[in-house]
Every structure is written in structure tokens, then in C-alpha cells.
Amino acid sequence: MTASARAFLLWSLPVAAQQLTSADYAARAAEHLAAGQAQTAVEEYSQAIRLRLDSAGAWIGRGRAYSQLGKYSEGIDDFDQAVRLDSTPALPYIERGYAYGRIGEFDRAIQDFDRALERDPMNVRALSLRGTAYSVIGQNDKALADREQVVKLTPDSAEAYVARAGTYHALGRHDEGFADESKAIELQPAYELAWVARGMAYFTLGRNPDAIRDLEQALKLKPDDSDSATLLAQARAAEALVRKPEVTQPPAAKPPSTTQSSFPQPVKTATVAPAPAPRPVPKAQAPKPGPPKSDTASAALHNQRGRELSKQGHYREAIEELTAAIAADPSFALAYNARGFAYFLLRDYRRAIADFDKAIELIPGYKNAIDNRTAALRSAGSK
């Protein structure tokens, strides 16, 4: 009997007849978690743990539910307990490593992924997450090694090619990066993130028409993606700046004709009335200061530089570039989010939260900023 069939049968029985076991609660919790009902899953897993404290699976399940709620510290505590009960499987190390990564503890995350891979060397999720952690801290050679292994293990995964492409671009190997992004699009034409990744890479390299084409396609696939829409606007603005016609210079004075005599001709004089005295010019009033003008193209360039520096692990330099982007365009939500993430990685949670708040204020419902803010609040509370 499947877990769902068993759960249905138990629900259909009278309350007095329901003698739920730890496994029953865990099965119901797993269904809630799969349905995105994380809080209910926490409650059901807690019942499973109450009935059987030595159930490593229930501890792992509740840890996953806490992570889904953004309660990463609570999740880590549960994964710790699962490891104490059974340190053989790779799963609790992978889940704990993921939670550590979400609160910016990348060294600990990598240690857990190492332990997971000692137990299961071909585990794609552990390799993928370790590659991401290496990428975030700027160890791109190690990130590339993990991501190359993931591509070998899952050659039909568009996501694997997009991840490896990001590392190629970070290493300056752009041709290989574009090849991977194109391969991802070939494998999965409706994969919006592949179009965004290639469009962003084109934009970073100043290939604005190519960037515009890819980002327009991304928005066709996901019209409500505010990040893609903002990036597309930047690419269009940058291209308009490139195509702006040059100011026509006034024609230079013609040189004297070589057919004329080299000696000046005598000029006939005439009596000329003196010119009237010029009227006094009234003093011009200083213009009233208006709202700061945004320079979208300049902001886009600073934003891209900041993101590249952040990928390389140069977070303070990234913050300087992203601050310049915000100064050029105070409504640039993506730059606030990126700067907040750099502050987050430096463990300056107060500034990080302030930037995430501003990004959400500018783009209500900005999911990435909301997720980042949740992680920052959790980390700030666990200091």
C-alpha cells in the first residue's frame, strides 16, 4: 500500500480507531512538504519525532521543512540530530550544507558537501551545491571542476550547462560560456533562465543587440519576471547610448585661397557710426534644484561590474560599484538587491536587510530580494 493510500485510509477511520505511528505521521508530513505546506509538515514531523526519537528520517524531514520556511538555524539543529543518529547516509550532510549556504556559512557548507561526497561520490546534488558554494566565494577553478562533473553525470540537463556557463564567464572563457548557454537552450527551449543567463552575459560584454534579443525571449516565456524586464531596459538604454548621433561640429574656417596674392589688398575706409552701448544684462537667477536625474546606462555598467566583482569574491569592491549604480539610478532595485547580498556575505546583516527592504519597496513581490531578506533576518537573529 502506498503512503498516500495509507494516509487516506487512516483519515477515513473514526478518531478513536486511529493509532497513528511515527511512520504514519512522517508519511503525512512528507505529503504536506511535497505540496508546499511546510508549517503543517513541521507539525506532523514533530509528532513523528515525539513517538520515536531515534527516527533519523523524521529529523531530516523536519529539517527540510524548516529550511523551506527559511528557518535555517532550526533546520541545522535537526540535521545535526540526524547525523548523530546515523552518520552513514549522505543526505543529512547535503541538507545541512544547503542550510549553511543559505545563511552565508559557505566554509561549513563545503565541509558538509565534502562529507556527503565521501559517502556518495557521484551525488549530483552535492556536486552542484558545492560548485555553487565555491562560485560564491570566488574559487572558480574548483567550481568549474564540480560543474564539469555534473555535466558528465547529467548530459541532458539544461540547468547543468547554465551553471557551468556562469563559471566559464567568471573565468573569462566567454566562448565556452556562450556554447553552454546555447546548449541549454537547444536542450530546453522554454528554459527561461538559460535565455536570461546568455542575455546577461551578452550585456556584460557590451553586445547589446544580442542581449536584447535573448531578454525579450525570456520575457515571452515568463512575462512577470521583473529582473529580466529591468535588465532588458538597461540593455536598451545602453544600446540607445551607443547609437546616439555624434554632435555635428561647426565647419572650420576656409583657408585663404592659394590663387590670391600673398600681400593684403588695400581696404577702402568708410566712416562708421559708433555702436550703441550694450544694455546691462540682468543677473540670471540660479535654477532651482530638481530631482536627481537617473543615468540608466551608467547605472547598468556599474551594476554589471559590481555583480562580476561579487562573483569573484571581491565584496567590498562590489559594494562600491553597486553604490555607484544606485547613485546613477536611485530606483535601481536590482542594484539594491545585489549590494544587499554582498553585505550579507560580509555578515553586515543590518545593511543587507536595509538594501533588501529598499529593493522590495521598489519592486513589490521581488522574490529573490524577499528570499535574501529572510536569510539575512535569520542570520542576524542567530548571531
Each residue of 21-38: pLDDT tens digit?
999 999 999 999 999 999
> Of 169, 214, 207, nearest to 193 (Cα)?
214
Are the C-beta atoms of 309 and 318 separated by less than 8 Å? yes
Task: Identify the band that residue 18 occupies on the pLDDT scale cut at 50, 70 and 90.
Answer: low
Residue 150 neighbours by CB under 8 Å, 6+ apart:
124, 127, 128, 131, 157, 160, 163, 164
63-76 residue pLDDT tens: 999 999 989 999 99
Show the beta-strand stretches assigned E in 115-156: none
Q: At what angle do helices 124-136 and 106-119 cross, to 10 degrees?
A: 160
Question: Sign of torsion, CA 59 64 69 70?
Answer: positive
209-227 residue pLDDT tens: 999 999 999 999 999 888 7
The letter for the amino acid at 132 is T
CA distances from 245 to 116, 206, 242, 278, 294 (A): 58, 18, 8, 38, 20
45-57 residue pLDDT tens: 999 999 999 999 9
User: How far is the C-alpha of 341 from the C-alpha of 343, rounded, in Å?
Assistant: 5
pLDDT at 277: 46
Are the C-beta atoms of 96 and 130 separated by less than 8 Å? no
pLDDT at 273: 40
Q: What is the DSSP string of 154-211?
A: -TT-HHHHHHHHHHHHHTT-HHHHHHHHHHHHHH-TT-HHHHHHHHHHHHHTT-HHHH
pLDDT at 303: 80
Cell of 344: 550579507
264-323 residue pLDDT tens: 333 333 333 444 444 444 444 444 444 444 455 567 777 878 887 887 778 888 898 899
Q: Does the model's pTM come out above 0.85?
A: no
Dihedral (Cα; 49, 54, 57, 63), 10-degree rounding: 60
CA angle 195, 201, 206 (to 5 degrees): 125
> Of 168, 172, 211, 216, nearest to 192 (Cα)?
216
pLDDT at 246: 46
The fraction of the chain above a pLDDT of 90, given in percent, is: 53
CA distances from 98 to 47, 67, 79, 108 (A): 25, 9, 11, 10
Are the C-beta atoms of 55 and 81 separated by less than 8 Å? no
